[in-house]
Chain A
């Protein structure tokens, strides 16, 4: 099976712009989670989607949003970009939602740089 894919891999934006990142989970996986990874902060949970519904949400401002399509592909959007949004954004998929104990399979990430 193909792994989790994320596009684009690299992105450079300026403050105030908005950005959309895409994630395609492993075939058959229905849950997609998004994380923000910055040096020293580790991985911060953004949100989780299952069957096109947001099931869990982290402590991020409303500028961060996401959605999931019927084929389980997911997008996350960040509006009014700030310098502090520069990070590696990781997507992970699992077969089930809130599947306690399910291993998360990660994509390669999208490196976002905000100038």
Chain B
């Protein structure tokens, strides 16, 4: 069965610094998709970034980028120049036919 593991329940980072959130997953499939979603306090979950497993190139979206290591089944999220608005729960998700989400990492950006 597919599982998604986020080993960091909570992290803190100073404003303007860089932070990396970890995610590993288990699958026997080859062509799948990976996502990072952000859930700000009391607000809706929104997409941060999306990666297609058949693409070698790591996805980037402004200050957000991923380090996708297919063989290692690792999909980490790097947030550069952290801002106060980045404070949120971050969920890693795997998608083949269904979505599987990790348990989340609570990121606190400190001024």
Give A contacts to B, CB under 8 Å: 3, 33, 35, 40-43, 45, 48, 56, 58, 90, 92, 98, 100-101, 103-109
B47 at interface, CB cutoff 8 A = yes
Which listed residue (B45, B98, B102) contacts A45, Cβ 8 A? Answer: B98
B35 x A42 contact (CB < 8 A): no
Contact B96 A103 (CB under 8 A): no
* Closest partner residue, chain B, to A40 (CB atom): B103
**Contact B95–A100 (Cβ < 8 Å):** yes
Q: Enumerate B47-95 residues with CB–CB distance to A below 8 Å.
A: 47, 50, 52, 91, 95
Inter-chain contact B97/A100, CB cutoff 8 Å: yes
How many pairs, one residue from A and one from B, have CB atoms within 8 Å of each other in the complex? 50
Other than the given A35-B101, A90-B45, 6 more pairs (CB < 8 A) read A45-B99, A100-B32, A101-B52, A104-B47, A106-B37, A106-B45
Contact of B101 among A3, A43, A105 (CB under 8 A): A43
Check if A48 sits within 8 Å of B52, measured CB to CB. Answer: no
Residues on the B chain within 8 Å of A107, using CB: 44
* Interface residues on chain B, size class: 20 to 34
Shortest distance between the CB of A64 and any CB in chain B (Å): 16
Chain B interface residues toward A at CB < 8 A: 6, 31-33, 35, 37, 43-47, 50, 52, 91, 95-104
Cα–Cα, bound, A45→B102 (Å):
11
Which residues in B have their C-beta under 8 angstroms from that of A106? 37, 44-46
* Chain A residues whose C-beta falls within 8 Å of the C-beta of B43 in the assembled complex: 108
A37 to chain B, nearest CB (A): 9
